[in-house]
Amino acid sequence: MKIGIIGAGVAGLAAAARLAAQGNEVDVYESNAYPGGKMAELRMHGYRFDAGPSLFTMPRYVDEIFESAGEDPAAWFSYQRLPVVCNYFWEDGTRLSAHADPGDFAREAENTLGVPAGKVLAALADSRKKYELTGRIFLEKSLHLLRTWTSAKVAKAMLRIPGLDLFTTMNAVNERHLGHPKLVQLFNRYATYNGSNPYKTPGLLTIIPHFEHHIGAYYPQGGMYAIAQSLYRLALSKGARFHFETPVTAIRVENGKAIGLEVNGADQPFDRIVSNMDVFFTYRRLLSDQPQPERTLRQEKSTSALIFYWGIKRSFPELTMHNIFFSDNYREEFDLLNKGQVSDDPTIYVNLTSKHSPEDAPPGSENWFVLVNVPYHSGQDWDQIIARTRTNVLQKLSRMLQTDIEALIECEDRLDPRTIESRTSSHLGALYGTSSNNRMAAFLRHPNFSSRIKNLYFCGGSVHPGGGIPLCLMSAKLVHERIQESN
């Protein structure tokens, strides 16, 4: 079977590897000069940065791809579990290390914040319960197939709906379980993992801490970009062909069936088409002559990011790989994001891969990936926002670390919603496609197949099951399964 894949983001790479390993003839067309999409890297002045995703959870989803291709994952890709998931900092001097082990984390919260360890363990147990009831339904199955809803597991989950917190918010659940404002803020942060608002997103999403504290947070040897590189090499080894700097200009449809792609002005025939391009642009640019799923395409977008890449000529022993410096008023920060604005007191995420890969920075130095959540691009004056936010971030970090951070910056680059959109075709620079700010969001995401156009499939963060590396990889698996069934 001849299969054409549009885009070499992580989902496109995973789909290419899975499909090529089954003996299909696979061609991947990518407008950039490199594989990985948002999962790129940046090098400057002796520093290396993962340019996009920085947190690795659910490594089994990567391992599965190699196993499905008959390969030993360890021969291609290695990773280690982090003993501390994240260090958290507040303006009043409070610092808390979120240990990966639930018991250690609970004791740390009790010692630092005075919250009984049992409360933390109960919240994590609730997170696990919700995942075990719903995770394999909402993440690992298509929500758009009748057989999903007629299974015994779904029936069991439906009977437990009152305990799944679908009709309340993440913040309300965290307040109920934890009480302490700092710990609630810490657990509310998990809404940002899919670009959502903890004061609006359903309480069901309190399943996210389960991934970090029961399954674990990991670091891939060679950085996050090593995930994309290993999948790219696997796909190549199975016969997939990659065409870089080769954008697709149209999906050819005839009699309700996808029959090929228009590339460089010529038609390329295929038996199946897989789009790893943002679903909005897939329809607007490549299927402009076809009926458009307007309700889906007009869903509220997720947040975006403003990222500064700083080579810092000093090391900070109080920092670990993942670090969060919280704002004083978290609700106001999200209220402003909802209005398309950026707080003057933003929560700041600092990632340092040099903590585990010293070669990512010169001796005695660190590679700081500094991220602030910002709204998607809707016509804001980004140059003004970037300048103001840079000043606010530097002042906040300098104050909280008691060091003049700007004086330590040896080299600098940045990424903002405009460049995220132009480099990765992410509509309006939204990192995760649509947000999950309402309880129907999961059902309103575009399915992994077209119900109108036969032989057309979709993977990536803008379609089911959602954004983030694990979900993108799962979308590729769902596409693979559907194409196998279509034979």
Residue type (1 letter), 80: Q
Residues 14, 234: Cα–Cα separation, whole Å = 9
**Do residues 206 and 189 lie in contact, with contact meaning Cβ atoms separated by under 8 Å?**
no
How high is the pLDDT of residue 144? Answer: 57
Instruction: Provide Rg for the chain, Cα atoms.
Output: 22
Mean pLDDT by 10 residues, the chain (487 residues): 98 98 98 97 98 95 96 96 97 97 97 97 95 72 54 58 81 97 98 94 92 94 96 98 98 98 97 98 97 92 97 98 98 97 98 97 98 97 98 98 98 98 95 79 79 96 91 96 89
Residue type (1 letter), 30: E
How high is the pLDDT of residue 153? Answer: 63
175-209 pLDDT per residue, tens:
999 999 999 999 999 999 989 999 999 998 999 99
Residues 36, 458: Cα–Cα separation, whole Å = 17
Alpha helix ranges (H) inside 47-151:
60-68, 73-76, 102-113, 117-130, 136-138, 146-149
**CA 72 and chain centroid, separation:** 25
How high is the pLDDT of residue 404? Answer: 98
Residues 46, 360: Cα–Cα separation, whole Å = 7
Residue 449's closest CA among 433, 464, 466?
Answer: 464
How high is the pLDDT of residue 436? Answer: 78
How high is the pLDDT of residue 438? Answer: 72
How high is the pLDDT of residue 74? Answer: 95
Residue 94's closest CA among 77, 115, 74?
Answer: 115
Model confidence, pTM: 0.94
Residues 341, 377: Cα–Cα separation, whole Å = 10
How high is the pLDDT of residue 442? Answer: 55
Return the axis-axis angle of helices 469-486 and 10-21, rounded to nearest 10°: 30
25-70 pLDDT per residue, tens:
999 999 999 999 999 999 999 999 999 999 999 999 999 999 999 9
Give DSSP secondary structure letters for 236-304. HHTT-EEEET--EEEEEEETTEEEEEEETTEEEE-SEEEE-S-HHHIIIIISTTS---HHHHTSPBPPE
Handedness of CA 321, 406, 374, 87 (dihedral sign): positive
